[in-house]
Amino acid sequence: MARIRHGAVDSIRLTAVLAALLLAATPGYAQHAPLDDAPPVWFADDRLPVPVPEFAEPGLVPYAFNSFLGRPLSRFFHPGRLVRNLDDGYPGRPAADVNCLDEVVASSWFTPRLGMRRLDDRELVAGPALDSPGIDGPDRSAPWRVVGAKTAGVTPGFRIRDARGDTWLLKFDPPEHPGMTIRSGVVTNLLFHAMGFNTPVDRLVIFDRDDLVVDEGVTMNLGRGIEIPLTEANLDSVLTSTRSVFPDGYHALASRYLRGVPLGPFDDQGRRRDDPNDLILHQNRRQLRALKVFGAWVNHFDIKMHNSLDMYEGEPGRGHVVHYLIDFASTLGSFGDESVKRFGFEYGVDVLPVAGRTLTLGLFEDDWISQERPPGLSEVGLFDVAHFEPAAWKPDLPHSAVADLNRADGYWAAKIIAAFDDRQLRLLVEQGCYQDASAVDYLARTLAGRRDKIVAHWFDQVPPLDYFRPVDEGLAFDDLAVEYGHADPATSVYRYRWARADANRDTGDWTDWRETSERVFRLDDPTSDHEREFLTVEYRVVRDGREGPTAKVHQARASGRIVGIDR
């Protein structure tokens, strides 16, 4: 059965690719940039002074309408995506914010951190508060002044101002699940910061009632446009309703207001037209596409645009826009008032599973229905390893950037996740101040298990050979699967061949395939082709006798630089 289906798909792919080739006589199908013997780019020049853009925040429903209907339909019929999808199973164009080494460059969106370099414990735990006074949360030298409150929505919250003058949002758990979302929010904030995203300072704070005083003239938003004065008495009642009282005091997530001018969330598709620095379609940004992998890891199903925020930093007219991800409360299996098993497995409206269930008359059950919360751990939601399938993970709302993720994007994200070791994961989970040590054990273990599944999947999509460097004998590299303990070096063999290439990647004659178990491609000059200035090595990994996919690395003959990696 499987053979027949694959055969049919292969035929369709072949036909479609041939048709596309015939239709358009396609130079540069793969859309790789020409090879250039120059140092790699590591920084995007996207902090030019710009005027302050307008604040813009579309409503959730219009955004959801577009995300569920308009954008998926548009993507489905897009001929370019169709051809690419038939060609290699990934419809997105190559990411545009990467350098020739296939790494995401530093920008106002992203800063390479873990995976690119080592982070010590202090830096991991401090996250965005590193070397700032907010590392321990709001200043405690004086009571926190409550300057705003809301009771509408799933959970109540307060805006407080500390003695340093910083404004923080105090967020609580839904009353049904005290201690769940605030802790996951803190932990995942630190995980995402370590990955390289811009995030606000989110801290778990423990405080007493005496730590809060109500400012004069503060009102409380009750929803439906109703506001009443906030008094000490109704502050008491709101605090009681949160049920966030633990033996050592109230627990809350304190999120520091970002500095600068808020501009509203950034969309997962298109560009911000009034920001001249925003030159790459957001769906072509690898770090946004990779939210599929990062989101899958922590089950951050709520990666909608409203959980992002653009901030204008600097003096008006002399500053620039910085892009943040915010609000990580709905992660690690946490949820609002109800545990929802579908999250992470299906979109809010997912046509294919619905059609499947309709046509099969309910005879089959979805696997994810059998998920259960870990017994006895009230602070942990639906989060496990057994049901997790990295490739099948979906956010609640279809996400345009996630939809364009390709194998190179997925591999890049996976190698960042692989860089978190078990000890670091436990250290970060501990920052959630879980009351039950078993919860820390469980979450750290589950994160590690999901990490391993992600790595196993994405390191199987491309050969996980990286960090190529010229050596006397040829080209040395690291096998990340071996390095991170996901593959046995004893059963790993590297097959490769090479050829001279020009800047457009047109190659001369290829050598025969060679095999080695060392992490060096031994290259001798095979031809007298002196016109082509680059050397292209094609390689694949054979593990336990199974041959994996192929990739290419390009080296400049003159300088020895690595000038391109095609995954």
As given in the structure block, the two tokens for residue 239 are 């605090």
* 77 part of the interface to another protein, by CB under 8 A: yes
In the complex with another protein, the residue whose CB is nearer, 28 or 133, is 28
* 46 part of the interface to another protein, by CB under 8 A: yes
- 567 touches 408 (CB < 8 A): yes
- 553 touches 537 (CB < 8 A): yes
* 247 part of the interface to another protein, by CB under 8 A: no
Minimal distance in Å, beta carbon 535 to another protein?
13
In the complex with another protein, the residue whose CB is nearer, 320 or 407, is 320
* 228 part of the interface to another protein, by CB under 8 A: no
Residues 267-326, interacting with another protein (CB under 8 A): 279-281, 284, 320
In the complex with another protein, the residue whose CB is nearer, 204 or 220, is 220
Give 518: exposed, middle or buried? Use CB within 10 Å, 0-12, 13-18, 19+.
exposed
Stretch that binds another protein, among 2-10, 453-461, 470-478, 532-540 (CB under 8 A): 470-478
Quickly tell me which residue has 């790459």 as its tokens: 280
* 365 part of the interface to another protein, by CB under 8 A: yes
By rule CB under 8 A, what count of residues binds another protein? Answer: 91
DSSP string, 336-354: SSS--TTTBTS-SS-HHHH
Alpha-carbon gap, residue 335 to 77, rounded angstroms: 34
What's CA 16's distance to the chain center, in Å?
32
* 525 part of the interface to another protein, by CB under 8 A: no
131: alpha, beta or left? (left if phi > 0; alpha if psi -120 to 50): left
In the complex with another protein, the residue whose CB is nearer, 109 or 168, is 109
Stretch that binds another protein, among 28-36, 187-195, 488-496, 505-513 (CB under 8 A): 28-36
Closest CA to 347 of 387, 397, 393, 306: 397
DSSP string, 250-269: EEEEEEEPPSSEEEEPPPSS
State the amino acid at position 296 in one-letter form: A
Contacts of 71 (CB under 8 A, 6+ apart): 269, 398, 400
Question: Quick one: which of 34, 223, 376, 485 contacts another protein (CB under 8 A)?
Answer: 223
* 73 part of the interface to another protein, by CB under 8 A: yes
In the complex with another protein, the residue whose CB is nearer, 83 or 439, is 83
Site string for another protein, 188-207 (x = CB under 8 A): --------------------
Question: Quick one: which of 14, 163, 213, 369 contacts another protein (CB under 8 A)?
Answer: 369
* 485 part of the interface to another protein, by CB under 8 A: no
Quickly tell me which residue has 């950034």 as its tokens: 266
Question: Quick one: which of 1, 4, 5, 117 contacts another protein (CB under 8 A)?
Answer: 117
* 70 part of the interface to another protein, by CB under 8 A: yes
Task: Return the axis-axis angle of helices 2-24 and 79-88, rounded to nearest 10°.
Answer: 130
User: Which secondary-structure segment (H or E) carries 469?
Assistant: strand 465-471
* 342 part of the interface to another protein, by CB under 8 A: yes
In the complex with another protein, the residue whose CB is nearer, 116 or 542, is 116
* 101 part of the interface to another protein, by CB under 8 A: yes
Question: Quick one: which of 152, 427, 448, 503 contacts another protein (CB under 8 A)?
Answer: 152
* 62 part of the interface to another protein, by CB under 8 A: yes
As given in the structure block, the two tokens for residue 461 are 């999509």
